[in-house]
């Protein structure tokens, strides 16, 4: 199955996500010191940087998980940072997707139920949600794994299930925090290949936080975060 | 290794310390509740022991009074009634100066004197003498001390008489000692004593078991809290070279540390809860302030036993996992519980149903098979079927789930229905037993007959010989003095008076039969009706159900073959007064009968059960209500501990779900459903099976019609369930804290 239409509510082209002068400290420790970033619709962006540079914090601010001490985050032209937690939660649920490094699958649920979870949360009937979820198993090379539990899958398989869960609701933006951090290089490449291909197929903007150059190589563009600042950008040719 | 275990428990960071603190807090809660239950049971025993003196009989040994007992004491015990309250009445007469003295009084009252309990004294002062005080001859010379009263509210009176006079009264016995403990009273129940001693012992023992089991389960659950996180740490220790034995020792140290701290805090919780516990009316009668206490054995058992049990529980928990240097793996899960587990339950119900259809089994052996076999099969069956029921309930929930919360909760329960059931298994015992007891007792109490606008509860009878075969007619038969019947009919509120005469036929008299004119019987239909065409009926036992387990109101007594005129001059066996049902009329009728026929035993309401049994039933009802609420609350505490453990295992996926925008309300629903489903399912099944068992037993043993318990019972259950759900809801803040965004960052 190939999805070619753009995600709902998003016009093709233009800036979808923008951060201006983001400042955020954890106690006495500054994490962001005035970070600026702009992400185009449909773009696959890699946010790179060494450990502790603030790249995950930047991702969480862009996704509305953390509220910056100063600065502005805009999503689809509207400010995100001044919305209530409830509004931001709804936005994350309805228009964003997430892939984390590990441990994001609900252990009690089967793989297909994990993938269907965002659709069920969106109010879809179970049968329809599971049918949509099952479509992803073939695309991600997970045929036959639908009824497996987290404990019965390898790390790479679990991460592909998490990827399907992140994309199943056709989000406007997919946030991926070190999505291959717990995988070997071969599995990492499989996951990145599937992630970028599926996202491009359905026009989803992707922001990947990583410290691995080979992961960043899958992106359209790279930015480097160092000492809480987005210090440089480079475009990749894909 | 022990030192290392201690250091790891308290000095290896905040998380380790929090883990020990949380486990200790949960153990403390269990210990606090356990100590309250122990104190409550001790209180009930203290209360019961103080009533033991009323069970004094001719068999009571002189040494039990603890004093010099050279002279005997004439003793006549009876239970009178005022309204719904029982009055323990003891008529005494000392034969000499060294006669044993009942507890609570300084001396044996002389003829024309009496001692009354403070509550009875107040009652005597507050109601008209014609309703109560006139029943007791003489004057009050003092009050009975607390040492002789089961409760500050108890109504007790000790009336002094002339020894010669009392010695001639049927039923009076010569005693040389006063009974002091219920434990010694197994042989005296058939005499004049209250007869509730052995029953009370069994009830208290049953209540103790029912209360303790859920609490021990709570403590065991608590001591395994955070096991998953601990096991991960143990795996890391195995990686750096720790042997399984060393890991086991460290686990034991950590568990015992938490348990010891929990026991210490548990005693503090007990001291706080004790203040509230004093207000709980376990038996309907408040306990005296000093009743709620712990014995040295109780303290020792808890202080030593709980840490040992906690260590054992932790070791059992470790045996369920395989901790290798590469991580923790669950041992191969046992197959899901199958439908075969319901066989004992079905067999137990079938056994009771068989006897309900075929009738009461003949012979003690068969009855024992029905009672013990049937009930035991059901109880064991419920415990065995519990995991299967949980599995089926969660399977149904999962199959129908359209919401993520229902799906996640159902899947988790399906994963391990045994574990889900384990934490509330104590509830099965409590709810089954209490429901069966309430169901049976409620039906018996509610069997008061009502015929033709006349209620048995409005009718009072003085029975001189009890209409029993053992009565010595030469002593007990009285003739009603001329004019007395008219005098009784003149008592305000009394509608009619019927006299039951001694049957002139010796054979019938030996069978406990009297005769009554059909004209008189027609005015009091609650004690039965005459056969068509009869002038005089031969009437049998009419107080409560007769031998055929049939309500007297429904009994058609056979003709005695006599004329009404011929029985008028016969001695009187019993006097029955029908009143207008007003409380004052009933009490006046009682008082008039006592005055007219002293020493013939207190008049009783023509009802299914007497005042003494009524009091025992009320006590059981109160106790069962306390047990229902307590066991539900304790089960909810076990569930709350389980919730904390479950959250600890799933804090990362849950916190990541929250990051992705899943509302906390969804996760709250997961937690609530995981706990509420087994709780409600198990509670419902236990109650239904308990009531069913009661209905079947009533039908086979007593041929009583089963009545669904009244609103008070359901209110208790609903209150207990509401309190349980509130306890489950109290863990919601824990959910918010344990799954905060920082978890995703730090793990």
Co-location of B114 and B237 in the same domain = no
Residue B314 has pLDDT above 80, yes or no: no
Q: Decide: B131 and B591 in contact? Cβ < 8 Å.
A: yes
Contact B402 A126 (CB under 8 A): yes
pLDDT tens digits in sequence order for chain A, 238 residues long = 333 344 444 445 688 999 999 999 988 888 899 999 999 999 999 999 888 888 889 999 999 888 899 999 999 889 988 888 888 888 888 899 998 887 788 888 899 999 998 898 888 888 999 999 998 898 888 889 999 988 888 888 888 899 899 989 889 999 998 888 877 888 788 888 888 888 888 889 999 999 888 888 999 999 999 888 887 665 554 4
How far is the alpha carbon of A120 from chain B, nearest alpha carbon, in Å? 6
Mean pLDDT score, B433-444: 81
Segment B671-714, tens digit of pLDDT: 899 888 888 998 899 999 999 998 888 887 766 678 888 888 88
Does some domain include residue B613? no
∠ at Cα A106 (A99, A175), nearest 5°? 10
Give the SS3 label for residue B44.
Answer: helix
Q: Which of A63, A101, A108 to mutate to test the interface with B (most CBs of B within 10 A)?
A: A108
pLDDT band with cut points at 50, 70 and 90 for residue B195: very low
Q: Which two tokens stand for residue B266?
A: 């548990």
Enumerate the residues of chain A whose CB falls inside 8 A of the CB of residue B663.
Answer: 89, 93
Q: What is the mean pLDDT of chain B?
A: 79
How far is the alpha carbon of A116 from chain B, nearest alpha carbon, in Å? 9
What is the Cα–Cα distance from B226 to A45, expressed in whole angstroms?
40
Co-location of B456 and B440 in the same domain = no
How is the beta sheet containing A29-40 ordered, strand by strand?
Answer: A29-40, A15-26, A70-75, A78-79
Residue B467 has pLDDT above 50, yes or no: no
Residue B476 has pLDDT above 60, yes or no: no
Q: Decide: A18 and B707 in contact? Cβ < 8 Å.
A: no
∠ at Cα B258 (B256, B261), nearest 5°? 105
Q: HSE of A166 in the Cβ direction (CA atoms, 13 Å)?
A: 32
How far is the alpha carbon of A195 from chain B, nearest alpha carbon, in Å? 18
For A119, the closest chain B residue by CA position comes to: B404
Q: What's residue B98's pLDDT? A: 85
Give the SS3 label for residue A51.
Answer: coil
Of A87, A63, A66, the residue nearest A173 (C-alpha): A63
How far is the alpha carbon of B9 from chain A, nearest alpha carbon, in Å? 26
Strand segments (E) across B64-191: 73-82, 85-94, 113-116, 139-143, 155-160, 173-175
Write the CA distances from B335 to A122, B495, B512, integer angstroms.
35, 71, 63
Q: Which of B575, B607, B639 is the last residue of a domain?
A: B607
Extents of the domains making up chain A: 15-105+171-235
Q: What's residue B416's pLDDT? A: 84
Q: What's residue B69's pLDDT? A: 54
Enumerate the residues of chain B whose CB falls inside 8 A of the CB of residue A108.
Answer: 408, 411-412, 415
Q: Which two tokens stand for residue A46?
A: 């890699």
| Positive or negative torsion for Cα A180, A182, A185, A190 | negative
Contact B404 A125 (CB under 8 A): no
Domain count, chain B: 4
How far is the alpha carbon of B721 from chain A, nearest alpha carbon, in Å? 27
Write the CA distances from B13 to B222, B234, B652, B655, integer angstroms.
21, 15, 19, 22
Contact A109 B402 (CB under 8 A): no
Segment B238-264, tens digit of pLDDT: 766 777 777 778 878 888 888 899 999
For the ranges B19-33, B356-370, B479-493, B553-567, the one whose mean pLDDT is highest: B19-33
What is the Cα–Cα distance from B374 to B367, expressed in whole angstroms?
10
Residue B385 has pLDDT above 90, yes or no: yes
Enumerate the residues of chain B whose CB falls inside 8 A of the CB of residue A126.
Answer: 401-402, 407
Residue B13 has pLDDT above 80, yes or no: no
- Nearest neighbour of A93 by CB, restricted to B407, B408, B661: B661
Written in H, E and C, the secondary structure of B574-611 is EEEEEECCCHHHHHHHHHHHHHHCCCCCCCEECCCCCH
Give the SS3 label for residue B677.
Answer: helix
Beta carbons within 8 Å of B718's beta carbon, 6+ residues apart: none
pLDDT band with cut points at 50, 70 and 90 for residue B453: very low
Q: HSE of B168 in the Cβ direction (CA atoms, 13 Å)?
A: 6
Q: What's residue A112's pLDDT? A: 92
How far is the alpha carbon of A31 from chain B, nearest alpha carbon, in Å? 13
Contact A103 B659 (CB under 8 A): no
What is the Cα–Cα distance from B8 to B16, expressed in whole angstroms?
7
How far is the alpha carbon of B673 from chain A, nearest alpha carbon, in Å? 14
Enumerate the residues of chain B whose CB falls inside 8 A of the CB of residue A93.
Answer: 660-663
Co-location of B326 and B469 in the same domain = no
How far is the alpha carbon of A86 from chain B, nearest alpha carbon, in Å? 8
Measured N-to-C along each axis, helices A185-202 and A155-167 cross at an angle, to the nearest 10 degrees, of 10
- Burial bucket for residue B48 (CB in 10 Å: 0-12, 13-18, 19+): buried
- Nearest neighbour of B663 by CB, restricted to A63, A89, A120: A89
Class of domain A15-105+171-235: alpha beta
Co-location of B343 and B302 in the same domain = no
Domain extent, residue B227, equals 1-54+197-332
Segment B515-541, tens digit of pLDDT: 888 888 888 877 788 888 888 888 876
Contact B741 A66 (CB under 8 A): yes
Say what the ipTM of the complex is. 0.77
Measure the N-to-C terminal CA separation of chain A; round to a whole number of Å.
23
Percentage of chain B lying above the pLDDT 70 cut: 79
Contact B404 A121 (CB under 8 A): yes
- Nearest neighbour of A92 by CB, restricted to B404, B407, B660: B660
Contact A92 B745 (CB under 8 A): no
Q: Decide: A18 and A31 in contact? Cβ < 8 Å.
A: no
Does some domain include residue B189? no
Could you tell me how many CB contacts below 8 A there are between chain A and chain B?
Answer: 69
What is the Cα–Cα distance from B290 to B65, expressed in whole angstroms?
23
For A173, the closest chain B residue by CA position comes to: B660
For B415, the closest chain A residue by CA position comes to: A108
For B405, the closest chain A residue by CA position comes to: A121
Beta carbons within 8 Å of A146's beta carbon, 6+ residues apart: A110, A111, A112, A133, A134, A137
Q: Which two tokens stand for residue B210?
A: 């029912």
Q: What residues of A are in the B interface, CB distance below 8 Å?
A: 56, 60, 63, 65-66, 88-94, 96-98, 100, 103-110, 113, 117-118, 120-121, 125-126
Between A30 and B227, the more confident residue is A30
- Nearest neighbour of B660 by CB, restricted to A93, A125, A126: A93
Co-location of B656 and B597 in the same domain = no
Q: Decide: A83 and A91 in contact? Cβ < 8 Å.
A: yes
Co-location of B455 and B581 in the same domain = yes
Q: Which of B585, B607, B629 is the last residue of a domain?
A: B607
Mean pLDDT score, B26-48: 84
Residue B478 has pLDDT above 80, yes or no: no
Segment B86-145, tens digit of pLDDT: 889 999 999 888 888 888 898 999 998 999 999 999 999 999 998 899 999 889 999 999
Contact A90 B415 (CB under 8 A): no
Q: Decide: B538 and B500 in contact? Cβ < 8 Å.
A: no
What DSSP line would sit under B692-746, residue for residue? HHHHHHIIIII-PPP----HHHHHHHHHHHHHHHHHHHTTHHHHHHHTSHHHHHH
Mean pLDDT score, B22-35: 85
Q: Which two tokens stand for residue A236?
A: 């990749």
Q: Decide: B552 and B546 in contact? Cβ < 8 Å.
A: yes
For A121, the closest chain B residue by CA position comes to: B404
Co-location of B658 and B704 in the same domain = yes
Q: Which two tokens stand for residue A36?
A: 């600026």
Q: What residues of B are in the A interface, CB distance below 8 Å?
A: 401-404, 407-408, 411-412, 415, 650, 652-653, 656-657, 659-663, 666, 741, 744-745, 747
∠ at Cα B649 (B643, B655), nearest 5°? 90
Of B447, B455, B480, the residue nearest B579 (C-alpha): B455
Q: Decide: B660 and B703 in contact? Cβ < 8 Å.
A: no
Q: Decide: A30 and A52 in contact? Cβ < 8 Å.
A: no
Contact B659 A98 (CB under 8 A): yes
Q: Which of B286, B315, B332 is the last residue of a domain?
A: B332
How far is the alpha carbon of A103 from chain B, nearest alpha carbon, in Å? 6
Residue B610 has pLDDT above 70, yes or no: no
Segment B543-561, tens digit of pLDDT: 654 444 455 666 788 887 8
- Nearest neighbour of B661 by CB, restricted to A90, A109, A120: A90
Tokens 């040992």 map to which residue?
B308
What is the Cα–Cα distance from B402 to A200, expressed in whole angstroms?
31
Contact B656 A65 (CB under 8 A): no
What is the Cα–Cα distance from A55 to A62, expressed in whole angstroms?
11
Q: Which of B402, B660, B663 to mutate to test the interface with A (most CBs of A within 10 A)?
A: B660
Q: Count of residues for chain B? A: 747
Q: What is the largest CA-CA distance in chain B?
A: 106
Q: Which two tokens stand for residue B40?
A: 């409550």
Of B438, B459, B441, the residue nearest B450 (C-alpha): B459
Co-location of B155 and B286 in the same domain = no
Beta carbons within 8 Å of A233's beta carbon, 6+ residues apart: A221, A222, A223, A224
For A87, the closest chain B residue by CA position comes to: B661
Q: What's residue B623's pLDDT? A: 77
What is the Cα–Cα distance from B57 to B195, expressed in whole angstroms?
11
- Nearest neighbour of A100 by CB, restricted to B402, B656, B663: B656
What is the Cα–Cα distance from B403 to A122, expressed in whole angstroms?
10
Please tell me whether the overall predicted TM-score, pTM, comes out greater than 0.90 for this model: no
Residue B188 has pLDDT above 50, yes or no: no
Backbone angles phi, psi at B358, to 5 degrees: -85, -15
What is the Cα–Cα distance from B12 to B687, expressed in whole angstroms?
47
For B414, the closest chain A residue by CA position comes to: A108
Co-location of B205 and B92 in the same domain = no
Contact A106 B657 (CB under 8 A): yes
The answer to which of A84-88, A145-149, B274-278, B451-455 has the lowest mean pLDDT is B451-455
Enumerate the residues of chain B whose CB falls inside 8 A of the CB of residue A63.
Answer: 659
For B745, the closest chain A residue by CA position comes to: A56
Co-location of B436 and B457 in the same domain = no
Co-location of B225 and B321 in the same domain = yes
Alpha-carbon Rg for chain B, nearest whole angstrom, is 32
Q: Decide: B150 and B286 in contact? Cβ < 8 Å.
A: no
Contact B660 A107 (CB under 8 A): no
Q: Decide: B121 and B143 in contact? Cβ < 8 Å.
A: yes
Co-location of B417 and B399 in the same domain = yes
For A98, the closest chain B residue by CA position comes to: B660
């Amino acid at each position: 199955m190939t999805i070619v239409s753009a995600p709902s509510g998003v016009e093709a082209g233009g800036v979808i996500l923008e951060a201006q002068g983001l400042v955020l400290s954890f106690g006495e420790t500054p994490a962001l010191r005035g970070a600026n970033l702009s992400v185009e619709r449909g773009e696959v962006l890699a946010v790179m940087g060494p450990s502790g540079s603030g790249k995950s914090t930047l991702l969480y601010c862009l996704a509305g998980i953390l509220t910056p001490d100063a600065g502005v985050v805009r999503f689809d032209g509207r400010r995100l940072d001044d919305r209530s937690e409830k509004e931001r939660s709804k936005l994350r649920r309805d228009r964003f997707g997430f892939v984390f490094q590990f441990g994001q699958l609900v252990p009690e649920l089967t793989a297909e139920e994990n993938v269907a979870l965002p659709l069920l949360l969106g109010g879809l009937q179970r049968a329809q949600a599971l049918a949509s979820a099952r479509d992803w198993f073939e695309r991600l090379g997970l045929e036959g794994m639908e009824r497996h539990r987290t404990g019965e899958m390898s790390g790479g398989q679990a991460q592909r299930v998490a990827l399907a869960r992140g994309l199943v609701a056709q989000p406007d933006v997919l946030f991926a925090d070190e999505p291959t951090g717990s995988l070997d290089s071969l599995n990492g490449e499989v996951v990145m290949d599937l992630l970028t291909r599926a996202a491009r197929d359905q026009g989803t903007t992707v922001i990947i936080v990583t410290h691995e150059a080979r992961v960043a190589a899958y992106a359209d563009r790279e930015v480097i975060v160092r000492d809480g600042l987005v210090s440089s950008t480079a475009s990749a040719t894909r | 290794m022990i030192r290392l275990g201690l250091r790891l428990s308290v000095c290896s960071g905040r998380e380790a310390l929090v883990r020990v603190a949380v486990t200790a807090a949960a153990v403390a809660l269990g210990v606090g509740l356990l100590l309250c239950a122990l104190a409550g049971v001790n209180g009930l025993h203290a209360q019961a022991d103080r009533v033991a003196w009323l069970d004094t009989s001719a068999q009571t040994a002189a040494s039990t009074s603890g004093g010099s007992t050279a002279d005997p004491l004439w003793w006549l015990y009876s239970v009178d009634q005022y309204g719904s309250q029982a009055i323990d009445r003891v008529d005494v007469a000392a034969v000499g100066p060294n006669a044993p003295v009942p507890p609570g009084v300084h001396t044996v009252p002389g003829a024309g004197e009496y001692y009354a309990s403070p509550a009875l004294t107040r009652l005597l002062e507050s109601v008209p003498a014609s309703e109560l005080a006139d029943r007791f001859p003489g004057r009050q010379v003092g009050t009975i001390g607390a040492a002789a009263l089961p409760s500050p509210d108890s109504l007790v009176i000790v009336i002094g008489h002339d020894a010669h006079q009392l010695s001639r009264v049927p039923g009076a016995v010569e005693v040389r000692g006063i009974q002091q403990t219920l434990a010694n009273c197994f042989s005296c129940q058939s005499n004049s004593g209250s007869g509730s001693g052995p029953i009370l012992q069994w009830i208290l023992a049953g209540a103790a078991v029912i209360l303790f089991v859920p609490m021990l389960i709570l403590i065991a659950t608590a001591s395994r809290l955070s096991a998953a996180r601990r096991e991960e740490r143990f795996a890391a220790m195995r990686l750096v070279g720790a042997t399984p034995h060393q890991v086991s020792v460290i686990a034991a140290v950590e568990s015992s540390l938490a348990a010891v701290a929990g026991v210490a805090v548990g005693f503090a919780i007990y001291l706080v809860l004790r203040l509230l516990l004093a207000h709980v009316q376990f038996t309907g009668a408040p306990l005296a302030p000093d009743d709620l206490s712990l014995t040295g054995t109780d303290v020792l058992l808890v202080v030593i036993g709980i840490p040992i049990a906690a260590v054992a529980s932790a070791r059992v928990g470790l045996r369920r996992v395989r901790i290798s240097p590469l991580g923790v793996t669950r041992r191969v899960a046992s197959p899901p519980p199958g439908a075969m587990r319901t066989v004992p339950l079905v067999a137990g119900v079938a056994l009771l149903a068989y006897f309900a259809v075929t009738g009461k089994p003949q012979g003690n052996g068969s009855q024992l098979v029905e009672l013990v076999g049937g009930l035991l099969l059901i109880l064991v069956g419920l415990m065995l079927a519990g995991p299967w029921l949980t599995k089926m309930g969660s399977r149904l929930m999962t199959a129908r789930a359209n919401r993520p919360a229902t799906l996640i909760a159902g899947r988790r329960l399906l994963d391990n229905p045994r574990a889900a059931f384990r934490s509330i298994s104590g509830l099965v015992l409590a709810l089954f037993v209490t429901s069966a007891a309430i169901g049976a007792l409620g039906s018996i109490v509610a069997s008061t007959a009502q015929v033709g606008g006349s209620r048995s509860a409005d009718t009072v009878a003085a029975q001189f010989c009890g209409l029993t075969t053992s009565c010595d007619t030469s002593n007990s038969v009285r003739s009603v003095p001329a004019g007395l019947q008219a005098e009784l009919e003149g008592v305000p509120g009394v509608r009619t008076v019927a006299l039951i005469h001694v049957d002139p036929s010796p054979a019938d008299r030996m069978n406990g039969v009297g005769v009554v004119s059909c004209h008189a019987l027609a005015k009091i239909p609650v004690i039965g009706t005459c056969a068509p065409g009869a002038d005089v009926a031969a009437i049998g036992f009419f107080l409560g159900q007769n031998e055929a387990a049939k309500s007297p109101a429904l009994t058609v007594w056979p003709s005695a073959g006599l004329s009404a005129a011929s029985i008028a001059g016969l001695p009187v066996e019993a006097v029955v007064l029908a009143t207008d049902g007003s409380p004052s009329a009933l009490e006046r009728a009682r008082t008039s009968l006592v005055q007219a026929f002293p020493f013939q035993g207190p008049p009783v309401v023509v009802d299914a059960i007497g005042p003494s049994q009524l009091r025992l039933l009320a006590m059981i009802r109160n106790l069962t209500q306390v047990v229902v609420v307590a066991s539900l609350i304790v089960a909810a505490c076990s569930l709350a501990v389980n919730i904390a453990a479950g959250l600890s295992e799933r804090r990362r996926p849950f916190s990541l779900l929250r990051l992705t925008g899943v509302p906390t309300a969804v996760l709250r629903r997961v937690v609530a459903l995981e706990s509420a489903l087994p709780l409600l399912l198990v509670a419902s099944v236990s109650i239904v099976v308990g009531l069913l068992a009661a209905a079947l037993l009533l039908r086979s043993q007593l041929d009583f019609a089963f009545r669904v318990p009244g609103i008070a019972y359901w209110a208790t259950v609903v209150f207990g369930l509401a309190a349980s759900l509130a306890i489950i809801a109290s863990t919601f803040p824990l959910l918010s804290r344990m799954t905060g965004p920082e978890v995703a960052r730090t793990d």
